[in-house]
């Protein structure tokens, strides 16, 4: 699967841009938190597309954001 | 049942509707 680029994203309608990002993010997030992957991906899709693209290229950034999202989710569900 | 609906959940292969109401 070729990497998602900003030009590929820009060619898609806004709603589809989030879909494209979600499809790339979900497997990565699922490998970290399988049970919460859908909700974590949903939360992260609220972030700017440019930052989401950066996270796809930077495992460290993604990991940090996923941990943040998990903490928020757990606080929300408590 | 649970009334917690946030956050919207992403499912691979399913069109994302989480931000439709913006």
Task: Report the residue from B7, B13, B19 with minimal CB separation from A39.
Answer: B7
Q: Residue A19: is its pLDDT beyond 80? A: yes
Would you call B18 and A76 a contact, using CB atoms and an 8 Å cutoff?
A: no
CA-nearest residue of chain A to B12?
A23
Residue A29: pLDDT band with limits 50, 70, 90: very high
Which of A19, A25, A28, A29 minimizes the C-alpha distance to A52?
A: A25
More confident residue, A32 or B4: A32
- Across A49-75, average pLDDT: 96
Would you call A26 and B15 a contact, using CB atoms and an 8 Å cutoff?
A: no
Q: Residue A34: is its pLDDT beyond 90? A: yes
What percent of chain A shows pLDDT beyond 70? 100
CA-nearest residue of chain B to A73?
B7
Q: Could you give the ipTM of this predicted complex?
A: 0.86
Contacts 24+ apart (CB under 8 A), A7-16: A9/A49, A9/A53, A15/B15, A15/B16, A15/B19, A15/B20
């Amino acid at each position: 699967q070729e990497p998602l680029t900003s030009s590929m994203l820009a060619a898609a309608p806004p709603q589809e841009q989030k879909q494209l990002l979600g499809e790339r993010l979900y497997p990565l997030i699922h490998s970290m938190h399988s049970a919460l992957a859908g909700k974590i991906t949903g939360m992260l899709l609220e972030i700017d597309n440019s930052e989401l693209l950066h996270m796809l290229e930077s495992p460290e950034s993604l990991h940090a954001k996923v941990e943040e999202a998990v903490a928020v989710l757990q606080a929300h569900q408590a | 049942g649970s009334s917690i609906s946030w956050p919207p959940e992403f499912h691979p292969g399913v069109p994302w509707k989480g931000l439709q109401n913006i």
